Amino acid sequence: MLITARFVTGVAAAFMTPAGLSIITTTFAEGPMRNKALLVYAGTAAGGFSLGMFVGGLLTAASWRWVFFAPVILATAILVAGVRLIPRVAATRGDRREGFDLAGAVTITAAMLLVVLTVVRAPDVHLGWTATTLGASAALLLAFVAIERRSAAPLVRLGLLRSAPLVRANLGAMALTGSFFGFQFVTVLYLQELREWSTVETGLALMLVGIDSVLAPTLTPRLVERWGNVRVIFGGFLLAAVAYALFLPLGTDWTYPMMLPTLILTGLAFALAYGPLTIAATDGVAEAEQGVAGGLLNSSFQFGSALGLALVTAVNVAVTEPGRELDGYRAALVVPVVAALAGAAVMAVGLRRRAPRTQEEREAVMV
């Protein structure tokens, strides 16, 4: 039942998140106003990550069942508010798509699942099994590309991927969530399993990361206006790498003040990278494909977080020996550092200042 519930939740998020992002990008014209709206959107999402940790701890202290029931109440309230507040827009003839690319959806989903499964199982299985599942994932990815080339209504128009900024933004999204949730997972294990902190104490400790919900709509817009998306994202990844690296020498006797630099820098880094990545992934994309661009970005965020969690888990399991849990945590924390540096390297490719796209360049992406 738990797996089924998680599956249904994921399907619902896959519908809602790109649609919500598309409402913003099609309501506001490309420019400062859209950027500010997207950064408020990002700040709200970031606040949800942090507040969820704290509220989850409180609910678990009461009963673990409330962790699953409370979101139902919240979702119902949001649904009622959304029906009343979100304006209805009639779909035009050009907005309607012929059919649904089920084969493409199945192949790309299976390919991503196999990658995550391969990483999680790698410490416990023979190398041949790992190579086989990776090969199967690659074959499914090739099948997806072939299907998209022939489909009358492709899940993703492959021409959209000719946009280098869009590709960089999605790779950066994977690196950001992979490093962030990987770090958060190891930190929770350290605090609760090794230090024996309660769920409430852990939630309160990590709530400091929630400064991103304040900084994203206030500080980040000014930095983006002054320096541009790419430089701000690049700076965010560098700060993230520093933050995670500062946590590498963690010990059993660490006090909370010793953790503060990492927690504060992590919140700042997320504020600098998350919102601008959302802007970069939708910037220059035609209005008709804003939903697709939002879907790609959401998939990158989700796949990155799943892959990051799989990697830190695999490293932790491979290194940990009985009575030496701290060694496993330290080794696993290398993964977020490497992921953040990889994100910085990806964004460094686009550091050179570019003039705004001309109409001809935008039309080239549409081909």
Rg (Cα) of the chain, in Å, rounded?
Answer: 21
Residues 238 and 357 in one domain: yes
Query: In the listed set 155, 173, 190, which residue is the last one of a domain according to the structure?
Result: 155
What's the structural domain count of the chain?
2
Asked if 133 contacts 113 with a C-beta cutoff of 8 angstroms, the reply is no
Residues 239 and 357 in one domain: yes
Residues 197 and 132 in one domain: no
Query: In the listed set 155, 178, 198, which residue is the last one of a domain according to the structure?
Result: 155
CATH number at residue 15: 1.20.1250.20
Is residue 53, in this structure, part of any structural domain at all? yes
Q: What is the pLDDT of residues 117-162, one digit of tens each?
A: 999 888 888 889 999 999 999 999 999 999 999 988 888 888 888 8
Nearest to 339 by CA among 127, 186, 125: 186
Band the pLDDT of 276: cuts 50, 70, 90.
very high
Is residue 127, in this structure, part of any structural domain at all? yes
Q: What is the pLDDT of residues 71-126, one digit of tens each?
A: 888 889 988 998 888 777 665 555 555 667 888 889 999 999 999 999 988 888 88
Mean pLDDT of the 181-187 span: 94
Residues 169 and 150 in one domain: no
Query: What range does the domain containing 66 cover?
Result: 2-87+162-366
Residues 70 and 197 in one domain: yes
Is residue 179, in this structure, part of any structural domain at all? yes
Residues 15 and 66 in one domain: yes
Is residue 93, in this structure, part of any structural domain at all? no
Residues 107 and 196 in one domain: no
Mean pLDDT of the 343-362 span: 67
At 355 the pLDDT is 42
Nearest to 327 by CA among 249, 259, 266, 270: 249
Band the pLDDT of 353: cuts 50, 70, 90.
low
Band the pLDDT of 295: cuts 50, 70, 90.
confident
Query: In the listed set 110, 131, 155, which residue is the last one of a domain according to the structure?
Result: 155
Q: What is the pTM of this model?
A: 0.84
Is residue 94, in this structure, part of any structural domain at all? no
Residues 136 and 251 in one domain: no
What is the C-alpha to C-alpha distance for residues 230 and 143, in angstroms, rounded to an integer? 33
Is residue 205, in this structure, part of any structural domain at all? yes
What is the C-alpha to C-alpha distance for residues 285 and 277, in angstroms, rounded to an integer? 14
Residues 180 and 291 in one domain: yes
Asked if residue 187 has pLDDT above 60, the reply is yes
Q: What is the pLDDT of residues 154-183, one digit of tens each?
A: 888 888 888 899 999 999 999 999 999 999
Residues 133 and 275 in one domain: no
User: Which amino acid would we find at residue 58?
Assistant: L
Residues 267 and 214 in one domain: yes
Mean pLDDT of the 262-288 span: 89
What is the C-alpha to C-alpha distance for residues 231 and 253, in angstroms, rounded to an integer? 37
Phi and psi at residue 358, to the nearest 5°: -80, 165
Asked if residue 363 has pLDDT above 50, the reply is no
Residues 109 and 237 in one domain: no
Mean pLDDT of the 185-193 span: 94
